A and B are shown apart, each in its own frame.
Chain A
Amino acid sequence: MPAAACGPVDGTVEVVDPGLPGERPARCVAVVGVSEKVFAGHFPGFAIFPGVCVVEYVQRGALATMPEREPGGRWVLAAVESSRFLSPVYPGDELTSEYVWSRKDGGWRCRASAATGRGPAAQIRLRFENRDAPGPVAGAGERSEQDRGADAG
């Protein structure tokens, strides 16, 4: 994880329980402060936390709770596979989140639930990939070009 994470949220995510894959989910908490920078513009006179900012907090909790990573790996968010926003989040809300992790095609995927004191706020599935993982076998692309050349010839 980059040392200086930049994003649209101002708070920090605390890991309440790192969890145990296959046994119990990881749990995190973050406070959506009244002074979050996004509220000034979203919206003037009616502050409501953007859905993408909920995803941002959940992404940070995911990076903090991802199970054993290969040493030297560079894990990045590859996709928001799905996200359903169930209820609004407002200034001052405490956002709790749970993460169930599974491996998929060499990457890690989590199913996360985020909630405020009023109930479920979002259900989010994220996929992370290791950008420093070994790439495809060298020469595979050249082979296919040669095959095409042979077919054309």
Chain B
Amino acid sequence: MITVDEIKRMLPHRYPMLLVDRVTELVPGERASGLKAVTCNEPWYEGMPDTATEEDYHYPWTVLIESWCHVAGVLVTWDRPNPDVRSGKAMLLGGIADAEFHRPVVPGDVVEHHVRLARQVGETYVFEGESLVGKETALTIGRLTMTMRPASDLTAPPVPDPL
């Protein structure tokens, strides 16, 4: 089990954009699973009026995708810590394909992300996987590409999706 303090030695992401609480399984070069506890106390819910409905509290799908990405990030960086992009690298999202949204996630849910590494081409990684709440599938990701780039590189466009 990889806890938040260890995750913060691997990933440069910090509040409010550190969106994985625990990595529960990691097979290097293959796959990882991790948990994200969803709470009404997250910053996306700040300022929700009292008139908001249950639907208004559906966890933003874009944030759920980002959370899934952080499990992918741990899979990639667990053995080469990258806690500061200024001296290390930035993990950049290159592309997404077939991210499907099934069951809305709401405060009180604990999301279990499953990430599998499908391909690696240099510093570009291609992942696939899904996110569950209990037995229900909330999100499926057909393909997601991330690239590790030095921060100094970031005035140039990221590496194109090799697929």
Binds B, one of A25-33, A43-51, A63-71, A99-107: A43-51
* Assembly CA distance A38 to B99 (angstroms): 22
- B11 shortest CB reach to chain A, Å: 9
The interface size of chain A toward B, counting residues with CB under 8 Å, comes to: 38
Q: Mark A1-44, 1 if CB is under 8 A from B, else 0.
A: 01111111000000000000000000000000000011011111
A41 and B14 contact, CB distance less than 8 A: yes
Within 8 A of A (CB), among B93-110: 93-101
Within 8 A of B (CB), among A41-83: 41-46, 48, 50-53, 55-56, 59, 74, 76-83
Residue B48 lies at the interface, judged by CB distance under 8 Å to chain A? yes
Residues of A within 8 A of B17 (CB): 8, 38, 40-42, 50
* Assembly CA distance A12 to B161 (angstroms): 30
Specify which of A6, A51, A79, A88 is in contact with B60 (CB 8 Å cutoff): A6
Within 8 A of A (CB), among B13-42: 13-18
A3 and B14 contact, CB distance less than 8 A: no
Residues of B within 8 A of A46 (CB): 85-86, 90, 151, 154
Residue B12 lies at the interface, judged by CB distance under 8 Å to chain A? yes
A79 closest partner in B (C-beta): B100
B97 and A78 contact, CB distance less than 8 A: no
B93 and A51 contact, CB distance less than 8 A: yes
* Assembly CA distance A81 to B98 (angstroms): 5
Residues of A within 8 A of B49 (CB): 3-4
Residue B81 lies at the interface, judged by CB distance under 8 Å to chain A? no
Residue A87 lies at the interface, judged by CB distance under 8 Å to chain B? yes
With A41-B16, A77-B101 as given contacts, are A53 and B95 in contact (CB-CB < 8 Å)?
Answer: no
B93 and A45 contact, CB distance less than 8 A: no
Residues of A within 8 A of B101 (CB): 76-79
A78 closest partner in B (C-beta): B101
* Assembly CA distance A51 to B96 (angstroms): 10
* Assembly CA distance A77 to B55 (angstroms): 13
* Assembly CA distance A88 to B17 (angstroms): 17
B62 and A8 contact, CB distance less than 8 A: yes
- B39 shortest CB reach to chain A, Å: 13
Closest 9 CB pairs of A and B: A51-B93, A41-B17, A41-B14, A52-B62, A80-B99, A42-B17, A7-B60, A83-B96, A56-B62
* Residues of A bordering B, CB below 8 Å: 2-8, 37-38, 40-46, 48, 50-53, 55-56, 59, 74, 76-88
In the assembled complex, 24 residue pairs joining A and B whose CB atoms fall closer than 8 Å, in A order, are A2-B53, A3-B51, A6-B45, A6-B57, A7-B44, A8-B44, A8-B63, A37-B16, A41-B13, A41-B14, A42-B13, A43-B13, A44-B12, A44-B14, A45-B84, A46-B90, A51-B92, A51-B96, A52-B62, A55-B65, A76-B101, A83-B96, A83-B99, A87-B157
